[in-house]
Amino acid sequence: MRIKIDECLPGEIVELLTEIGHTAETVKDEGLSGSPDYIIWGIAQAENLFLITTDLDFSDIRRYTPGTHRGILLLRLSVEGKNYMISYFKQLIANFDFNEWIGCVVVAKDHKVRIKKPKG
């Protein structure tokens, strides 16, 4: 799967995804840091990329309706910090197949993962 990593996430997540066969690129590496959500979203859409972010704006399933895009993973963790986020992400990778989230809006919290799948 091809994945866009938002600037709010540590770059090490790219390595974790690459190790399991995904292609990931960061907003920061593309020189898009500080860009508004609609720019990031537009690029992800144009390039047919799954988006991983912590930006709560992407949780609105009326605006980001499952099945109308490649997919969104929204991380909503109670503890801030790079080490916690990387550790949590490793758990996600160990317990879920991201390919099953194509077209979905996934909200991952510390002890719960909610998956909104496309209708039909």
- What is the pLDDT at residue 31? 86
pLDDT band at 42 (very low <50, low <70, confident <90, very high): very high
- What is the pLDDT at residue 25? 94
Mean pLDDT of 60-79: 95
Residue 39 backbone dihedrals phi, psi, to 5 degrees: -70, -50
Mean pLDDT of 16-21: 96
pLDDT of 20 higher than 80: yes
pLDDT of 120 higher than 80: no
pLDDT of 110 higher than 80: yes
Q: Do 118 and 67 form a contact (C-beta atoms < 8 A)?
A: yes
Ranges of each domain in the chain: 2-116
pLDDT of 35 higher than 90: yes
Q: Do 75 and 88 form a contact (C-beta atoms < 8 A)?
A: yes
Mean pLDDT of 92-101: 96
As a whole number of angstroms, the distance between CA 92 and CA 88 comes to 6
- What is the pLDDT at residue 101? 97
pLDDT of 29 higher than 90: no
pTM, full prediction: 0.95
- What is the pLDDT at residue 80? 86
